[in-house]
Amino acid sequence: MLTGASGRIGNVIYEGLKKDGRYTVIGADIEANEGQGIVKMDIADELRLLELTQGVDTVLHFAWIQENEDFLGKVLSGNVSGAYKLLEAAAQNGVRRVIFASSNHATGYYKVDEKPDPMDPYRPDSFYGLSKCYIELLGRLYSDQGKLSSINIRIGNFPGDDRPHSERAGHIWISERDMLQLIVCCIEADAEIKYLNLYGTSANSDNYYNIDYLEGLIGYKPLDDATELLEQAKAAGERFARMRQGIKADKSDLTSYIHRSDR
Ligand SMILES: NC(=O)c1ccc[n+]([C@@H]2O[C@H](COP(=O)([O-])OP(=O)(O)OC[C@H]3O[C@@H](n4cnc5c(N)ncnc54)[C@H](O)[C@@H]3O)[C@@H](O)[C@H]2O)c1
């Protein structure tokens, strides 16, 4: 069962998993889409979540209310409480694994040359990042309680048109086909994996994160490289978002925080 199936990332996963053919996918979103078979679901609706998670093996949680700095409002009572309701429904229905769309912003206050390990202490850079930490830890709790397996993918940058748009994105970008491959690897990952945090990026030459070990752990072998695409685009005369977004977080400035600019 995939929440947020009408969204930028969710829709790529929804269509990709259906095309893959190995999975029966229930796509759910507050924005239903009859044509695509995406059913209506509000992450605040416990009964609907209980209904939709019945008989489900894996939940992919990609629904998100985009009010990231309204801490007492949407952050806690929308996204964090929605994730709690979803995990509770999943646990009650015996779902095996929940895979959550976390973010690089859970650790965005590390410096760009620190290459944080996914199990290093949290350093959220915003209420958005903090909400991701809360939800990762909810997964940890449910996992430690033996209720389900929890995998949190700290997604880098997925702009929606399958190409990087800034120098910063070049360090954290993930392509559509790599995202889909990563999701399949997480679904199929060894049953021994009860709790895992990982950074979700393509094989970018200048990655902020070490993701090489993921091939051995879950079989993730990304195919794309943002640096290559940015170089091709530059050669074709395109200008980049470093100036437009006021970004100063590339390798020439290793004292910058990871978090600056686009998510
Ligand atoms: N796109 C990125 O670069 C990026 C990077 C890091 C993490 N993420 C995370 O990945 C997830 C998906 O991101 P996206 O870019 O596809 O966002 P998106 O806004 O395109 O998709 C979110 C989906 O959630 C749905 N939604 C909103 N409120 C809902 C509710 N109350 N109940 C059910 N569904 C609801 C929306 O209709 C939308 O289809 C989010 O959790 C986001 O934080 C995205």
Mean pLDDT to the nearest integer, 194-215: 97
260 within some domain = no
Structural domain count of the chain = 1
* Comparison of pLDDT for 237 and 48, the residue scoring more: 48
Q: Which residue among 52, 64, 132 is best mutated to probe the pocket of ligand 1, counting the most ligand atoms within 8 A of its Cβ?
A: 64
CATH number, domain with residue 73: 3.40.50.720
Please give the distance of CA 101 from its chain centroid, rounded to a whole number.
Answer: 3
Contacts of 235 (CB under 8 A, 6+ apart): none
- pLDDT digit string, tens, across residues 134-164: 999 999 999 999 999 999 999 999 999 999 9
Q: Ligand 1: which residue has its CA nearest to atom 9?
A: 101
d(CA 216, CA 213): 6
Q: Is 238 helix (H, G, I), strand (E, B) or coil?
A: coil
pTM of the entire structure? 0.94
Q: Is residue 29 part of a domain?
A: yes
* Alpha-carbon span 18 to 26, nearest angstrom: 10
Residue whose CB lies within 8 A of the most ligand 1 atoms, among 2, 3, 9, for a mutation test: 9
How much is the pLDDT for 263? Answer: 44
- 217-262 pLDDT, tens per residue? 999 999 999 999 999 988 988 776 553 343 334 333 444 677 654 4
Beta bridge partners of 61: 3, 100
| Tokens (6 digits) for 131 | 């909400």
Per the domain annotation, does 217 fall within a domain?
Answer: yes
Decide if 258 is inside a domain: no
Q: Which of 13-27, 57-71, 231-245 has the lowest mean pLDDT?
A: 231-245
Q: How far is the CA of 235 from the centre of ligand 1 (A)?
A: 33
32 domain residue, yes or no: yes
* Residue 105 Cα: closest atom of ligand 1: 6
Pocket of ligand 1, candidates 26, 62, 81, 128: which has the most ligand atoms within 8 Å of its Cβ, to mutate?
Answer: 62
- Residues serving a catalytic function are 128
User: How far is CA 168 from each of CA 31, 66, 128, 133, rounded to the nearest angstrom?
Assistant: 31, 22, 19, 22
Residues with CB under 6 A from ligand 1: 3-4, 6-10, 29-31, 41-44, 62-66, 101, 103, 155, 157-158, 263
**If DSSP codes are grouped into helix, strand and coil, which group holds residue 167?**
coil
Share of the chain above pLDDT 70, in %: 91
Q: What percentage of residues in the chain have a pLDDT greater than 90?
A: 84
Q: Assess if residue 44 is contained within a domain.
A: yes
What pLDDT, in 10s, does the model give residues 171-180?
Answer: 999 999 999 9
Spatial contact of 104 and 136, defined as CB atoms under 8 Å apart: no
Domain around 150: 2-244
Look at residue 262 and tell me if it is in a domain.
Answer: no
User: Does residue 251 lie in a domain region?
Assistant: no
The alpha carbon of 62 and the centre of ligand 1 are apart by a number of angstroms equal to 5
For residue 6, how far is its CA from the centre of ligand 1 (angstroms)?
9
